[in-house]
Structure 1
Amino acid sequence: MPRLTRWFALLAVLAVVQPFAVAHAAEQVVVSAGHVDLGPRFVDGRWTVQLRDDTGDAPTWRDLSEVVLHVNDTARTTVPDDPAYDFLGDGGSPIWVLPQVEQAGVVWPGWNTQDPDVTAAVEREVTWRLHDVRGPGRFVLFLSGNFGAPTTLFTSADATPQETGIEVGTHVHGNWVFSAPGTYLLDLEMTASTKDRAQVADRKVLRVHVGGDTDPRTAFDVAVAEPAPAPEPRAEPEPASDRTWLWVGLGGGALLVVVVVAVALRRRGEQR
């Protein structure tokens, strides 16, 4: 089995310009090998997160609901016996890795912000947010460079949401790590500010099936939890103004004057 340390020689950011004359698919597909990218696009003017699939004859953008990434057993390896990688688990324990460096026979997922409409409209960067992870084990996405410690972008071991920034016009690959076989649901969101100060956002679930003992298409049957609706805004009661208390005070004072006058008149009548 390949060792994870063989994949730690490439820089994280790959400034690869790719053609964007791509088709759009509407069929359920399992991707088990080859290059794919997550990324935002404007489709009919609407900001949406999709998966660019480069594994066929022509590049194809797919809705995340229509695709499963299959992490087959070719991607199985072990955690290095190095304290720098303790965040992946105990040294020697099994993990499945979709590596930062392309490896034959496994999926090579990256992410890019190179869509022409995105580069033209977005101010500086896209925010990529992980809201939740459902699955049988731990999920980690990290970057490894030629020097220095690994940089963790997302880990299901920590509280969510978590986020990272992606500069506009870039193409990046990282190490996608899963600690157990089964289906994982990655609840992801990409947001940005446009140059005309509009806020755009889209939240989707990416299905990943790990291991070779079960049919990866079963991942399509795993229910996706809908995000909790935002609470309805409620108007807070306005505090009474100083003018209100002024009128209350004046009214109370006038009532007191009336009572005093009435008592005085009554006493005068009794004295007569």
Structure 2
Amino acid sequence: MPKGRTMLSTTTRSRSTALAALAAGAFASAALAAPAAARTVLFSGHVDAVAARIDGGRLISTLKDSTGGRTVWRDPSTVTIRVVSKARTTVPAGLGVVGRKGSPVWLIPQVQRSGVIWAGWNTEAVGSAQVRGAIRWTVSRVSGPGKLVVFQSGSFGEADVLFNSGARLPQGISIPLGTHAHGNWAFTKPGTYTVAYRLSARSVSGTPLGDSSTLTFSVG
């Protein structure tokens, strides 16, 4: 009888262990299947994709979303900027840095266009009492199916190229304080692009400040 009780106890323990393992597996599967936090998708209206703020003495890289009629400051890494099919056009003559004349390009324009996102950059929230000199915007990596070229159109039609992912990175520009500007963002192929960048500056006391983030664009 003691032997029988021992065998029954062992069997019970085995079943309990199996059930616990099954439950753990089910819990792990449920955890893996849980959806990721929803991203904010912006597809039309005004947004400053790269915007600087000072918070607690730290330089913060943010995204200033004005698409809904009021300003919302967002973490760029939680946002997808949607470049809709309406943004598709062709490369004009004289813009070889983007592509051959007549080749397709998806363009966020420097001048606002109805139904297409209008993306700029902004340092208006940072003052000379917080930062000494300009803020440096450096693009360190661009991944995607094609090339990204950010440029501004000059008074005589010439292109002032700010960033060109077809050339060696990193590339950077200095943005004076109080700036709110827009440019052309040209994507040569449809698909998803990620742009890793950093904002850097010096505090009025000379302390280096900086913050890195990533922009995501869904094109086409």
What is the distance in 2 between the residues matched to 1:138 and 1:202?
25
What is the distance in 2 between the residues matched to 1:118 and 1:190?
15
Find the counterpart in structure 2 of residue 163 from structure 1: 172
What is the distance in 1 between the residues matched to 2:174 and 2:135?
6
Note the 1:54-203 alignment, pairs <5 A: 54-80=66-92, 82=93, 84-115=94-125, 117-147=126-156, 149-203=158-212
Q: Which moved more, 1:42-51 or 1:124-133?
A: 42-51
Calculate percent identity across the aligned residue pairs: 42
1:28 is displaced (CA, Å) by 2.2
1:57 is displaced (CA, Å) by 3.8
Aligned partner letter, 1:135: G
Note the 1:233-272 alignment, pairs <5 A: none
Aligned partner letter, 2:61: V
SS in 2 for 1:86: coil
Matched pairs, number: 183
SS in 2 for 1:88: coil
TM-score (norm 2): 0.80
Root-mean-square deviation (CA), in Å? 1.4
Q: Is the 8 A contact 1:113 1:119 kept in 2?
A: no
Q: Which has the larger radius of gyration?
A: 1
Find the counterpart in structure 1 of residue 54 from structure 2: 42
What is the distance in 2 between the residues matched to 1:63 and 1:144?
29
Aligned partner letter, 2:43: S
Q: Is the 8 A contact 2:151 2:185 kept in 1?
A: yes
Structure 1 runs of 4+ aligned residues shifted over 2 Å read 43-46, 117-120
1:171-219 CA-to-partner distances (Å, cap 9, x unmatched) read 11000000001000001111001211011011111000001xxxxxxxx
1:109-138 CA-to-partner distances (Å, cap 9, x unmatched) read 0001010x4443111200100101000000
User: What runs of 5+ residues in structure 1 fail to find an aligned partner?
Assistant: 1-25, 212-272
> CA 1:157/1:197 → structure 2, altered by over 3 Å: closer, same or farther?
same
SS in 2 for 1:120: coil
What is the distance in 1 between the residues matched to 2:109 and 2:134?
24
TM-score (norm 1): 0.65
Q: Is the 8 A contact 1:119 1:169 kept in 2?
A: no
What is the distance in 2 between the residues matched to 1:149 and 1:74?
24
Q: Is the 8 A contact 1:79 1:95 kept in 2?
A: yes
What is the distance in 2 between the residues matched to 1:202 and 1:108?
24
Higher strand residue share? 2
Aligned partner letter, 2:84: N
